[in-house]
Amino acid sequence: MAVKGDQTRTRLIDAARTLVEARGYFGTGLNEVIEAGRAPRGSLYHHFPGGKDQLTAEALAVSAREIDALIRSLAEGVTDTRELIEAVLDALADRMEEAGYAKGCPIATVALEVAATNASLQQVCAEAYDGWERALADRLVADGHGRDHAEDLACSLLALVEGALVLARARRSRVPIERARRSAAVLLGA
């Protein structure tokens, strides 16, 4: 029984991840998550007694770990931070295009919607961004930057990537991604 319950829980999280990223927190109803997750209604509150906020928080945390793993994996196959940023931009832009621009950053939509009104979801979003920023800063330190400078630069690079994704999604175009690539090279002195 535990395996079936775990599978149902995972399906609900995956459905929430997809729907919330595409439609936002307020644009995603629990009935849609239940339908997309192919789960009985009672299982939602069984697995997520905290309701929509708990489900969304867990979905965001899974997405955050996925992007963190992507950044760290890509970092292993490049020679410097410029190549890492290019690889991250390419991977996220490809993901966005494959989803018909329904995907961008899995955290940004919720962060923009609820950061000022929902402390628990704001915290999950902040932790996601902190983790990605640390991954970039670690790479910058490996490139020879001092820790303080690396942290400042990582914040700027993450802001550049996030902004490019928002603009690319809004415009349904990769042009902002390409411009961000060039700007990242300037920031990194390449």
What's the whole-model pTM score?
0.91
Distances in Å between the Cα of 114 and the Cα atoms of 25, 92, 95 are 8, 23, 24
Mean pLDDT of the 149-158 span? 97
Average pLDDT value for the chain: 94
Mean pLDDT of the 139-168 span? 96
pLDDT tens, residue by residue, 7-45: 999 999 999 999 999 999 999 999 999 999 999 888 999
Tell me what pLDDT residue 161 has: 97
Query: How long, in residues, is the chain?
Result: 190
Handedness of CA 18, 177, 163, 144 (dihedral sign): positive
pLDDT tens, residue by residue, 43-87: 999 999 999 999 999 999 999 999 999 998 999 999 999 999 999
How crowded is the C-beta side of 75, counted as CA atoms within 13 Å?
Answer: 19
Give the separation between CA 176 and CA 116, rounded to whole angstroms: 27
Q: Is the pLDDT of residue 1 over 70?
A: no
Tell me what pLDDT residue 122 has: 96
Closest CA to 137 of 83, 72, 190, 92: 72
Tell me what pLDDT residue 167 has: 96
Tell me what pLDDT residue 115 has: 84
- Is 180 exposed, middle or buried, given 0-12, 13-18 or 19+ CB atoms closer than 10 A? buried
Tell me what pLDDT residue 2 has: 63
Please name the residue that has the structure tokens 């700027």.
Answer: 156
